[in-house]
Chains A and B, each alone.
Chain A
């Protein structure tokens, strides 16, 4: 199971804790949507490659 974590803001302690538990013993990738010019092409590739995408606040 591969999880993609997408971040819209800097993860706080609650999000970090949830990510830690959800991704335990699983393959994990991430994408930063905070960038002023996100590479949407890369993001879509990552979404297609993952089994589940979680877009955190």
Chain B
């Protein structure tokens, strides 16, 4: 069985944390699930949300960001727009999440 690969993209800080929760929701359904915080700097995540991301990583998912501050503050993996585009080519489902 081939597992689905899904990437969520978040461009609005009010949608990022919940969007990460949605990504985790698919990882527990046996999908490769990734999130990308773009354009926006989000606040430092609390322990509960950091644990959610750790769970996502345990299931081979990841949260990326194009914004260096998010990488420094929250330990997201750095990614460029070009790298993201290449990654999206490999996805079964691509979700531009929430509002811009």
Judge whether A37 is part of the interface by a CB distance below 8 angstroms. Answer: no
> Is A57 within 8 A of B82, CB to CB?
no
Find out whether the CB atom of B89 lies under 8 angstroms from the CB atom of A18. Answer: no
Chain B interface, DSSP helix/strand/loop, else mixed: mixed
Considering the chains assembled together, what is the distance between the CA atoms of A11 and B85 in angstroms? 15
Counting residue pairs across A and B whose Cβ atoms lie within 8 Å, the total is 34
Distance A57 CA – B94 CA, assembled complex (angstroms): 12
> Contact flags (1/0) for A34-57 with B, using CB distance below 8 Å?
000000000000000000101111
B11 close to A (CB within 8 Å): yes
Q: Closest approach, in angstroms, between the C-beta of B83 and any C-beta of chain A?
A: 9
Instruction: Please tell me if B86 contacts chain A, counting CB pairs below 8 Å.
Output: yes
The chain B residue sitting closest to A13, CB to CB, is B81
> Given known contacts A9-B100, A57-B99, A57-B100, is B94 in contact with A22 (CB within 8 Å)?
yes
Query: Does chain A have a CB within 8 A of B39?
Result: yes
Q: Given known contacts A17-B81, A17-B82, A57-B11, is B96 in contact with A22 (CB within 8 Å)?
A: no
Give the CA-CA distance A17 to B85 in the complex, in Å: 8
**Chain A, Cβ-Cβ closest to B93:** A52
